Amino acid sequence: MPMKTVGWLSFKTIWLTVLLIASSLTLAVLGLITAEWRAQHAELELRADFQRQATEVASSINPLHVEALSFRGSDAGLPAFDRITEQFKAYSQESSIRRIYGLTLRGSTPVYGPCFFQDEDISAAPGSPYPFPSMQLVELLRSGSRTIETFEDDHITALAPIFDPKSDHVLMAVALDMPIENWQAQLLQVRLVPVAIALILLTLQFFGAGAIYLRSSLAPKRLRHLETVFAAIFGLLLTGIITYFVLEAEDRDRRLAFIQIAESKADAVENRLRTVQQQMNNIALFIENTPSLSANAFNAFTTPLINNTSVEACYWVAGLTADAREDIEERAREEGFDDFRVFRLDEEDRIVPVEDESGILYPVYFVEPYGASIFSPGFDLGSISEEKIALETAARTGLVTATIPELNKIIDASQNGLSVYMPVYDSNVSGMKALRGFVGASLRSDILLEEALASTVLDARLVYMQLFQLAANEATPIPLASGGEKSDNGQSIPYYFSLLKSADLALMHSMFTLSHTYALIIEPTTHFFAAHPTRNTYATAIVAFFITVVLTIFIGILRNQQSALESRIWESTIELRESGETFRRLFSESTDPILLLRQGRISDCNNSTLRLLKYNSKQQLIGKRPEDISPPKQPDGRPSPYAFKEMVGLCVRNGHHAFEWS
């Protein structure tokens, strides 16, 4: 049956065009819906991570330092204010946080506390009003809620409270600002994946439809498997897409599991550092209330700290002027330390006595356990620049201060250590506090990490930890120690911080303690990945690939059969065309008169018929019945119409019939 046409387009072409447009619109809509759905879920994850950062910072700030602030202009220059500000600065420079600051309420007005802004054109003095006040913010500062807000379409702010340890009163809220363009850039990256996938599928669909449409005019035999090829490509592409989304879902679940493990290990590290600081603070309080400190008393006071395996030694450091050196040496000999003398190391690391009579000396007096410390009794810590700076800072601020030992200047110095100093004061008659000395501790940060890894019920082999000290004036973080199964990445220090901006599993836990900002970088190990395999991803990829192969083979077989059928039809068509031409030639050139009948009427005749019947053209015969050009009756007396029908019936029944007709 001939195909009906509308202009030059067939109904088949119109139907395929409509189907192509409908499927394209469906793909585009699905891509946009998926992009928005992914963006919503990604924003929830971003909010959770951002809030976790703010909570970490707030929980690691010493509440006693915040209690010392008045949140007025007079705070500038206070040791507690300066320390928090320096810690904010160090943290901001190694993170994506543009601004970090403290907020509190003065009446019903939010005001600034310690702060650090990377924006050079922005500054905020302590006690100055917050420029974006709102009733919601006031309520948050009163209730101590954790939240994330958008202010002035400029930045995203995460808030986390610092509570008074003795009450539920909010001392200060820590606010972290992230530029909104950074936030939107991350969401845009998430949206681009499904949009790009939809564009690839649309391109493949249009290219395939166009190639199939033009195949008949190009090379139909060579391109007979075009559908098979595009089915294979489309199937492999869908396999990759489905596998990607399944892997993404498994990675999300694996990341949640990793964060739970990493946070438990990080909390264990931070709790141990807090315990060390609290124990040193207790020792300082005991010494302040002990008028005359003896070796036995110091041993008793330091026992809890020494029992901490991450503390290598605890020591008492005297702070005295150089002219009092002989007095302390004499007192030590009276207490039974016959070999005690104040000494330092010369340029060749040889022990030499201190003989100059100027400056301040910081000799080690008691050491527990004796002989275990990297510092020997009598060693002048002031002879090492880093130790002297830490001691002077502790004396000036009255706050605990830590430093990294200079290994090539200390006898028997161990690696992965921290020197921690807590100042101790005596109150004189006038109520003024005079520096009495320092409680010092040698902290093994590598042992501390190993203890933290083994402290929880979770397998210690699941994560690898690196502890860094962040310094505001240092170009790169300072590595302190590592714990767990060593990573095989072989990367430099900045690698661990670049992890935080990549898709790899890594977590940075910040700690504001011991006078510095520390970053604990936690990575998963091969044991973690073995415990959390992506089985569903592999299964999905294998099944989808198998289905693609089966469908491709099936389509290939169908195309082979279709191609063979089309070839046979084409050959039959050619044969029919050739036989038709032969019949036409025999029909036209035959000397015998021949008539062609259709539904009882003449549809064609040859020239011999025209000559026999003496007609001038075929048009005079076509459409007439044979009885119209015959006499009413045949020679046997039968009517011509009746006789003709009888002859035709015999011809149809027998396949042929010869008879005379007049």
CATH code of 122's domain = 3.30.450.20
Q: In this structure, are 355 and 481 located in the same domain?
A: yes
Q: Is residue 619 part of a domain?
A: no
Query: How confident is the model at residue 356, as a pLDDT?
Result: 65
CA distance readout (Å), 359 to 287, 319, 320, 323: 25, 11, 9, 9
Q: In this structure, are 345 and 488 located in the same domain?
A: yes
Torsion of CA 31, 36, 38, 41, to 10 degrees: -160
Q: Is residue 575 part of a domain?
A: no
Q: Is residue 589 part of a domain?
A: no
CA distance readout (Å), 362 to 411, 575, 659: 16, 114, 144
pLDDT at 416 over 50: yes
Q: Is residue 426 part of a domain?
A: yes
Q: Is residue 166 part of a domain?
A: yes
pLDDT at 412 over 50: no
The predicted-structure confidence for 366-390, as pLDDT tens digits, reads as follows 888 876 555 788 888 888 888 899 9
pLDDT at 466 over 60: yes
Q: Which of 494, 511, 533 is the last residue of a domain?
A: 533
Q: Which distant-in-sequence residues (6+ apart) come within 8 Å of 593 by Cβ?
A: 605, 606, 608, 609, 611, 612, 613
Q: In this structure, are 90 and 175 located in the same domain?
A: yes
The predicted-structure confidence for 124-149, as pLDDT tens digits, reads as follows 889 999 887 878 788 888 887 767 66
In total, the chain counts a number of residues equal to: 662
The DSSP annotation for 41-59 comes to HHHHHHHHHHHHHHHHHHH
In the structure, what pLDDT confidence band is assigned to residue 120 with cuts at 50, 70 and 90? low
Q: In this structure, are 163 and 84 located in the same domain?
A: yes
Q: Is residue 423 part of a domain?
A: yes
Query: How confident is the model at residue 69, as a pLDDT?
Result: 92
By CB atoms closer than 10 A (0-12, 13-18, 19+), residue 272 is: buried
Tokens in use for 197?
A: 């996938």
pLDDT at 483 over 80: yes
In the structure, what pLDDT confidence band is assigned to residue 211 with cuts at 50, 70 and 90? confident
Q: In this structure, are 99 and 235 located in the same domain?
A: no
The predicted-structure confidence for 299-322, as pLDDT tens digits, reads as follows 899 999 989 888 988 999 988 887
The predicted-structure confidence for 349-367, as pLDDT tens digits, reads as follows 778 888 766 678 899 998 8
The position carrying tokens 């994946």 is: 193
Query: How confident is the model at residue 7, as a pLDDT?
Result: 44
> Could you tell me if 173 and 161 are in contact, meaning their C-beta atoms sit under 8 angstroms apart?
yes
The predicted-structure confidence for 571-601, as pLDDT tens digits, reads as follows 888 888 877 787 888 888 888 888 888 888 8
Q: In this structure, are 416 and 514 located in the same domain?
A: yes
CA distance readout (Å), 606 to 135, 593, 609, 620, 621: 105, 6, 6, 13, 11
Alpha-helix runs per DSSP H in 95-168: 135-143
Cα–Cα distance, 42 to 37 (Å, whole number): 9
Query: How confident is the model at residue 490, as a pLDDT?
Result: 47
By CB atoms closer than 10 A (0-12, 13-18, 19+), residue 20 is: middle
Q: In this structure, are 169 and 234 located in the same domain?
A: no
Q: Is residue 561 part of a domain?
A: no
Q: In this structure, are 127 and 243 located in the same domain?
A: no
Q: Is residue 570 part of a domain?
A: no
Q: In this structure, are 287 and 342 located in the same domain?
A: yes
Torsional sign, CA 448, 454, 460, 463: negative
Q: Which of 147, 181, 215 is the last residue of a domain?
A: 181
Q: Which of 533, 562, 593 is the last residue of a domain?
A: 533
The predicted-structure confidence for 519-554, as pLDDT tens digits, reads as follows 999 988 888 888 888 889 999 999 999 999 999 899
Q: In this structure, are 238 and 175 located in the same domain?
A: no
Mean pLDDT over 23-31 rounds to 87
> Could you tell me if 104 and 98 are in contact, meaning their C-beta atoms sit under 8 angstroms apart?
no
Cα–Cα distance, 168 to 466 (Å, whole number): 34
CATH code, domain with 446: 3.30.450.350
Torsional sign, CA 487, 489, 490, 496: negative
Q: In this structure, are 118 and 262 located in the same domain?
A: no
Please tell me what DSSP assigns to residue 499.
G
Total domains in the fold of the chain: 2
Q: In this structure, are 526 and 451 located in the same domain?
A: yes
Torsional sign, CA 139, 144, 149, 151: positive
Cα–Cα distance, 458 to 351 (Å, whole number): 48
> Could you tell me if 449 and 483 are in contact, meaning their C-beta atoms sit under 8 angstroms apart?
yes
Q: Which distant-in-sequence residues (6+ apart) come within 8 Å of 502 by Cβ?
A: none
What's the domain range around 153?
63-181
